[in-house]
Amino acid sequence: MGYYNHISFVRQEPIWNCCMKLKIKRSKHRKVALHILCVVSAVVVTVIIVCLAMLTHRPRQYQPLPQTTSDEVNPYLTYLVSQVNNNIPIDKPFEVIVPQKELNEIIADEDSLGWSWPVKLNGVTFDRPIVIFSPKRILLMGTVDYAGFPIVVTVIADPALDSSGLLSLNLRKVKAGMINITPLAKLIAGKVFAHQINKHDTELWLRSLCDALLANKPFEPVFPTYENKDILLTGAKIEQQLLTLRLRPVKIPGGRSTQKTP
């Protein structure tokens, strides 16, 4: 029940009624704030879960072969080495057929490679890689562990030779699971390449490969072999599960090429 102020004769609410109304208003504000906090928290948690799911996604194409060891030399590796060794001395162009299946068998065979998986470089662990050929495109997939968090990384490239015979790798995208991490991948790769280049200062082809991957810079595709000859890539055809390389021996004094910068 209200009362009248003896001076103003204005009907006023009892003080306890005012306090109750103030408490009700504060309670409503708290409920609204709590509701907003719950909604924001739910959105944040959902985003984190979705990001983790996308980051840890395992692409269906990623089917690495089990690592193997064998006393017998891989048959395809024998063919590959014989192709190079038999054609370099006669100084004639030749072709090398690279089937996807056989290439991945070599990659999984520790004895054929001369080293075992995983490979660790500057804090980055790379394991169980595979190569996938599709028309005009090459995919390199593998498990990368950086700072103790393993994810499947996919490198997508559309390599091509231009009219001058220079090779562009045309790196299109680097994905961790389903997330595009191209800028971050280039940053990490740059550190790894810088370390390797410092160790192998005279390997010009390694510098060219670094520039090609990080800056999409075309380079002369001449690769070292042995003695006084290198191999020049003159053509390539990328088909479904098959890569055909056209190669030509190049005489280089000292066995290494002086690569040109376009």
Least confident window among 22-36, 169-183, 237-251: 22-36
Residues 94 and 198 in one domain: yes
- Predicted local distance difference test score (pLDDT) of residue 258: 41
Does 224 fall in a domain? yes
Cα torsion 209, 215, 219, 225 to 10°: value is 0
Mean pLDDT, residues 200-224 taken together? 77
Does 194 fall in a domain? yes
Cα torsion 69, 74, 77, 79 to 10°: value is 170
Residues 141 and 240 in one domain: yes
- Give percent above pLDDT 90 in the chain: 26
Does 40 fall in a domain? yes
Task: Read off the pLDDT band of 10 (50, 70, 90).
Answer: very low
The amino acid at residue 100 is Q
Residues 147 and 221 in one domain: yes
Does 43 fall in a domain? yes
- Predicted local distance difference test score (pLDDT) of residue 234: 94
Does 31 fall in a domain? yes
Does 100 fall in a domain? yes
Per the prediction, the chain carries an average pLDDT of 78
Residues 17 and 108 in one domain: no
Residues 11 and 45 in one domain: yes
Does 97 fall in a domain? yes
Residues 24 and 85 in one domain: no
179-196 per-position pLDDT tens digit: 898 888 888 777 777 766
Residues 241 and 212 in one domain: yes
Length of the chain, in residues: 262
- Predicted local distance difference test score (pLDDT) of residue 24: 57
61-113 per-position pLDDT tens digit: 999 988 777 667 788 888 888 888 888 888 889 999 999 999 998 888 876 66
CA distance 117 to 102: 18
Residues 179 and 79 in one domain: yes
Residues 139 and 49 in one domain: no
Number of domains in the chain: 2
The amino acid at residue 260 is K
**Residue 126 token pair:** 């790379």
Does 146 fall in a domain? yes
Range of the domain at 38: 3-55
- Predicted local distance difference test score (pLDDT) of residue 244: 96
Residues 40 and 101 in one domain: no
Residues 26 and 110 in one domain: no
Mean pLDDT, residues 220-231 taken together? 78
